[in-house]
Amino acid sequence: MVTSIREFKENDIAYKVKWINDEDNNQYLHYELPLEVEKTTIWFKSLKERNDRVDYTILYNNHPVGLIGLLNIDDQKKEAEYYICLGERGFKGKGIASQATKILIEQARRLFNISRIYLYTEVNNIKAQSLFERTGFVKKQILRNHIYYNGRNIDRYLYSLDLLSN
């Protein structure tokens, strides 16, 4: 069984909409929901003019199962923000997210010359924190009332991975 990642393509939009609209997947996301195909297509087309992010589709035996990528790529600071969403329910808990994360980390280093990857996660998102720590991210600090979403203040952790020391 092989996990890989490839560039997010226009024909992946339907998967993204399905996965992000799934309540099992969007509990800790701060999206305007529900996602719609039309708006997501506009978003996808806007990516061509951007060089501050890269989006991939996670494949398991060539079957799309999730999304992963880097946001806020900063060429000066050599850092980027990581995100992941393993969308297909039947593929969770099989190590796919860990494998995809390791592939993305290597690409961040090799293709983008990134020296630090960071992420934010809600304090209650225990499953995600386990993934992040398994793949080398270190919990740096708690950010109280870091964002305001759906009428509530949300505490989040900041995680970081220094690629120069790995």
pLDDT at position 75 is 93
pLDDT at position 39 is 96
Rounded to a whole number, what is the largest CA-CA distance in the chain? 43
Q: Are the beta carbons of 61 and 2 closer than 8 angstroms? A: yes
Domain map of the chain by residue range?
3-162
Work out the mean pLDDT of the chain and round it to a whole number: 95
Q: What are the residues whose beta carbons fall under 8 Å from the beta carbon of 123, sequence distance 6 or more?
A: 142, 155, 156, 157
Please give the share of the chain, as a percent, with pLDDT higher than 90: 92
Q: Are the beta carbons of 51 and 57 closer than 8 angstroms? A: no
Q: Which CATH superfamily includes the segment(s) 3-162?
A: Gcn5-related N-acetyltransferase (GNAT) (3.40.630.30)
C-beta neighbour count of 134 within 10 angstroms: 13
Instruction: State pTM to two decimals.
Output: 0.94
| Residue-wise pLDDT tens digits, 41-59 | 999 999 988 899 999 999 9
What does the pLDDT average to over 31-35? 90
pLDDT at position 166 is 58
Q: Is 31 or 117 the better-scoring residue by pLDDT? A: 117
DSSP-assigned letters across all residues of 63-94: EEEEEEEEEEEETTTTEEEEEEEE--GGGTTS
Count CA within 13 A, CB hemisphere, residue 137.
25
| Residue-wise pLDDT tens digits, 61-99 | 999 999 999 999 999 999 999 999 999 989 999 999 999
Please give the share of the chain, as a percent, with pLDDT higher than 70: 99
